[in-house]
Each structure stands twice: as structure tokens, then as C-alpha cells.
Amino acid sequence: MKSNTLRVIALALMLLICVWLGARLLSHKSDTVRARLQLPRITATQTDSIVIRHQRDTVRLVRAGTTWMVNGFRAGSEPIGQLFVAFLDTVAPDLAGVSPSSFQRMGVDSAGGYWLEVWSGGKATLRLIIGAQAPEPSSGFLRRAGSDSILLWRGDLIDLTRRAVDQWRDRHIVGVAPESVLAIGVTALRSYALRRSGATWRFSGGAPAESTRVADLLSLYRDFSASGFGTAAQADSGKKAPARRVLTLGGAGGKRLLELTFDSSATGVWARLAGDDNVYRVDAWRLNSFVPPDTALRPRTAVRPAAAPHH
């Protein structure tokens, strides 16, 4: 074969390759443009709900006025706030791929990815499929539903999408101002009651209490939060009657400010607030701080020094 013929063939092959590459770029042009665009402005006041689906699990965040619910439970203001900040707080993403053959490897395939949908006015304003986490902290791969473009996304949105339902729930149990409390009642193996007169506390029998330690007790309930959640079955697991403690706090006019029941079971220590169907997990090691025995609130008897021997 003559050298001229070889050159012609080589030039033809190069031309075909350039045409093919151009076609590939043009076919993904719209995806690349969308990849470079920022997310639509998403705010809590304009969003009706956010749904996160992963295989058989669904997290459904629904706005009810100024509050949010997650799968029927009260959602925490902090995790909700973090999510809306994550929609805004990010850097420009990088295009990591444009081939459906990479979807499964990067976790953005329809079956394996986390589907995130933002709804407003009855319409889905944003639909993302969030995939595998990347080596960089708080980063991972995602794509818009219907797009072939895979983005390397940097920001907390990747991690927040993976939160379980309990991580979205409100862990705040109750808040009682210590200065509003005039009476304390504890039902346990050794029950007792305290009343406040001015700045001093006394047991129901008239014996003085250590006011500083009573103040420490009440400070715990200024903002009392759970460490987790459970079910009624977990709270009842292996429970024995002596393991139950009940704390009540009373205010002016005999008003009941708080009634908390603590149950120790085989699966942990659980707290239930009167009028609240939730079962809260609390730190087992702090149970004697939450509901102390009466001896912990009594003044410590001063130890007298031994008398010097007579010579």
C-alpha cells in the first residue's frame, strides 16, 4: 500500500474520531450546563416537604406551619436547619462522568442511590439521586434525575441525606425554668417530697435539704433532651416494678409543671413525659442525677475532728 494511501486513511480516521468526540460533547451539552448551574433557591418557608428514599426506607419531612414533622414525629429544628443550609452552602461541583455505565459504580443508579425530592406547591422543584461518598470529607457523587451527568458534589448535603429517621427527630423533651418550681416529688423505692420557701428547700417532714444540690437537679430540666428514641416494647423489656422512678415538679397554685417516668429495662433507661406518646432514651449512667435518692439532697453531716488525748 502506497504511503499516500496510508496518509489518506490516517487522516480519515482522525476526522472520524473528531466527529465522534464532537457528537459526544454535543449530546451531553445540556447535561454539562445543568451540572454547572447552582441548585434552585430552596428555603424552609417555601418548601412543603422533602422526601428521601433509599431502597425500602423513606424519610418524609413535612412542614406544618413553622414546625416540621418527620414520618409523623416532631422533627428537630437543628437538623432541619442544617439541611436548608446545605442546599445553599456549597462550592461549584465538578463533572465526574457523563456515562450511564458509571451510574452503579458511583452509586447514582436509580436502584442503589438516595432519591432526594423537594416539593413546593404540589410540584417537585428538585429531584436528585445521591450516590457514593467521595474520598474528600463531606463530598460525594450525585446527578439530577433524568440526566447522564455525574457530579462530584462538595457539601453537607451528601452526609445529611444518609440520616436515619431518628436522627431527624426532635430530642428536646421538656424545659422548665428552675425559678418557677416550688415543689418536687419523687416516687421510687424510697419516695420523698420537697418544698421551697424563699430560697431554701425542705423535705416534707421539715428536715432541711441542701439547696445547692436541689438547684443542680432543677438545672437539668431547664433544657432536658434525650440521647435517642425507643418503642414501648423496648421500654417494657425485662422491666421490673422497682426499676420505675417518677419525678414531678410543681409550680405556683399547685400547677404541675412536669411529670416524667423513668423505666430501667434490659435494653436501657427510658423516659416518658406525661401527655407525650414518645419513648425517649436517656443516659443510664445519669439516672441518679435525673432522679436522685433523697440522701443525695440532704446536707452532709460534718465530721468532727477527734479530740486530742489528755496527758
Residue 101: all three cell numbers together = 455505565
Cell of 241: 416494678
- CA 84, CA 289: separation in Å to the nearest integer? 36
User: Which tens digit of pLDDT belongs to each residue from 81-106?
Assistant: 999 999 987 778 899 999 999 999 99
Mean pLDDT of 28-37: 43
Q: How far is 33 from 27, CA to CA, in rounded Å? A: 12
d(CA 300, CA 52): 55
Q: What is the DSSP string of 76-96?
A: PHHHHHHHHHHHHS--PPEEE
Confidence bin at 212 (pLDDT 50/70/90): very high
Rounded CA separation 156/137 (Å): 9
- What pLDDT is recorded for position 27? 44
Q: How far apart are the two ends of the chain, measured CA to CA in Å?
A: 130
Alpha-helical segments (H) within the chain: 3-27, 29-36, 77-88, 157-160, 165-168, 211-219, 232-236, 287-290
Q: In the numeric block, which cell numbers belong to residue 2?
A: 502506497
pLDDT in tens, 113-150: 999 999 999 999 999 999 999 988 889 999 999 999 99
Other C-beta atoms lying within 10 Å of the C-beta of residue 246? 17
Nearest to 76 by CA among 273, 278, 295, 212: 278
Candidate from 45-49, 140-144, 304-308 with smallest mean pLDDT = 304-308
pLDDT at 16: 61
For residue 299, how far is the Cα from the chain centroid?
40
Cβ-based burial of 217 (10 A; exposed 0-12, middle 13-18, buried ≥19): buried
The alpha-carbon radius of gyration of the chain (Å, integer) is 31
Distance CA(142)–CA(161), nearest Å, equals 11
Q: How many CA atoms lie within 13 A of 306 on its CB side?
A: 3
Of 92-96, 166-170, 307-311, where does mean pLDDT reach its minimum? 307-311
Grouping H, G, I as helix, E, B as strand and the rest as coil, residue 234 is helix
pTM of the predicted model as reported, rounded to 2 decimal places: 0.79
Question: What are the structural domain ranges in the chain?
Answer: 36-168, 172-297
pLDDT reading at 278 higher than 80:
yes
